[in-house]
Structure 1
Amino acid sequence: MTLRSHFHRRLGLVALVALASAVLAIPAQARPERLRWTHPTPGEVQNFEAFARAPDGSSEQFFSLSVPTPNLGVYEATIEVGDGDKLISLRAIRLDNVASAWTPPQTRVDDAVGPVIPVGGGTPLSPTPGAAQRFDFAGDAVGASVTGWVDTQPNYSLLTDDSLFGVTELDSNRVLFTASTGDNIHSHATGLDNIWSDYELRGRMAINHADASIGVTAYSLYRNSDSYYRLGRSAGGEFVLEGRPALSCSGTSTGITPTPGAWYRFEFHVQDQGASNHITVKIWDQTTTEPPSLQVDCVDSSTQRPRDGTIGVWSAGAGEKYWDDLEVILGDGGATTTPPDPPVLLFIVPAEP
């Protein structure tokens, strides 16, 4: 069974809401972990189960959680897992004993490697008029794979594994996320209607751990070829522009090191200039002002450069990674700034005569 099956769409479990005790600053040890989750059709479920394992697949543990009494639709249970990093998933067992798919695993990170900082929903970005494509994941089921996207296995593999990325909900806002610690995994939009040239990729992304690696791809040829441009950051580093094959231009760092728990907006533009591709980048903390100048300005004249391609996301290492409001703007998208966020209307009172 896959996350895309009819039953898994219907009975598929909502991803874990919180692994609350993962942020305690105490030495690594076996200890209780509190899980919170929701489910779209609770009346069909006779039992929930949890599965914990180390990132290398060892130290597997299974737990029967029964059906706890929900509080405002949220279930809660406590399990005790072993020492070190753990990947934890849930599934539902229907009344006829049919099991749902496991949720995409979330990471319980050993405190010895640093704290987990929760990521909130932030402020969703308003749609850009005339955008060729927009992925805000609002229409995708929580706990399921993204419709029309394909995940690929670690280490730049082109082989499919649709268990690596899924949709979760942060403060009632649905986003794309992964809790996988696999190195160099990807998810990409598929189909001929998702291949473009001369475009800008806009959106936002966030991490919950300082050792998380996260990024977005443009002009990607996945799953046919390991070729794309990427705006991303490796564990502990700044957001940089990279390519596969490697870029030869200098000045590819944005100077921006992400803070766990914060959302970062970006504008990632690639323009075909005939003999080369012109690539520019801006990225900034969503709560701050958009930078007035480009942070990266690169020309790729390689004969191996991609001429067009789809968009996607890239991940590696510890923690959870999140993406939202991905848009494709055709043409010279970099010539205009991102629309401002709308105002927040607080209240309306009668005006004085």
Structure 2
Amino acid sequence: MSDRLKALADAGVSIWLDDLSRELINSGELARLVAGSSVVGVTTNPTIFASALSKGESYDDQVNELAGQHASVDEAITTLTTTDVRNACDLLAATSAATGGVDGRVSIEVEPGLAKDTEGTISQAEELWKIVDRPNALIKIPATVEGLPAITEVIGSGVSVNVTLIFALERYRRVIDAYLSGLERAAEAGHDLSQIHSVASFFVSRVDTEVDKRLDAIGTEEAQALKGKAAIANARLAYAIFAEAFDSDRFRTLAARGARPQRPLWASTGVKDPSLPDTLYVTELVVAGTVNTMPGKTMQAFADHGEVLGDKVTGAAAEAQQLMDSLAAVGVDYDDVVAVLEREGVDKFQKSWDELAATVTDALRGAEGE
């Protein structure tokens, strides 16, 4: 058992692994992480699936079977990815049962090309929920403007959702409203609200990447002093929004009917700037009742030398706002930063999806002997 990761879990942070592959499941490595590294959930995305499918032979038998059925590329992608998610859900079923469904969760994302398509997102989210057919799955829906009504509709139908690609504080407020509106619809439809779970994935490291690039361009001493600080401040302000929203009369009315808060999930927690501590986005965002989803490298770094220094988030909003005001004062346009990050996030996932489709196309052709 990793003492440092256990200390993080004991502080109330749910540790989810930001990785999934058939090899990870079949080798027993995921089970070992659950048993020895306090891992209680898994997230994935098109980038992760593209990487998994391009390596090794774990998918060969199923690809051959799909080729024999003359499956289309889209059908093959759905079958391959939902198989992995279903198997991971089964592996984490005991964790789900032990936590009342709060943890033991495995996420799968709707196709990135649907990020601007409300109806398409709703349709695919509900389809993926039915195909995976596991109560501890989460369907990932991006927090685009078009994604917001989809979140409400899907939650309202009783599906558990991981809202992803959140960068902007104002957008996060709208995500929470979409979730609460979905719970209200679910209640009207007679769903058991206690069985509907959701997390809001607030992206962290990419904020520093974009802001620090702009600070370097500004080049002043004042600008340089602000590097590596925007992402933590942004996340701490997001937590303040969460705390206020889920201490409201609106949520208390839903909670009386069994509803659960939509937990903040710190995503993109791998440090991209080598001058920053490699566990920065874990140590500085410790607060009970949140999720930190880490790539394997970050999890290993924290297990080796990470520190839990207590709650680093509650009560930190005023200082975080001062930092954001300082960024504005030196010329960093926050609204433009988060708009760029959302656009790039969708584009990156679309590129990964295209790579995934190309990999599956080649694999099907190879299996068919072309």
Q: Same fold (TM over 0.5)?
A: no
TM-score by length of 2: 0.27
Going by fraction, where is helix more abundant, 1 or 2?
Answer: 2
Going by fraction, where is strand more abundant, 1 or 2?
Answer: 1
TM-score by length of 1: 0.28
Greater relative contact order: 1 or 2 (C-alpha under 8 angstroms, separation 6 or more)?
2
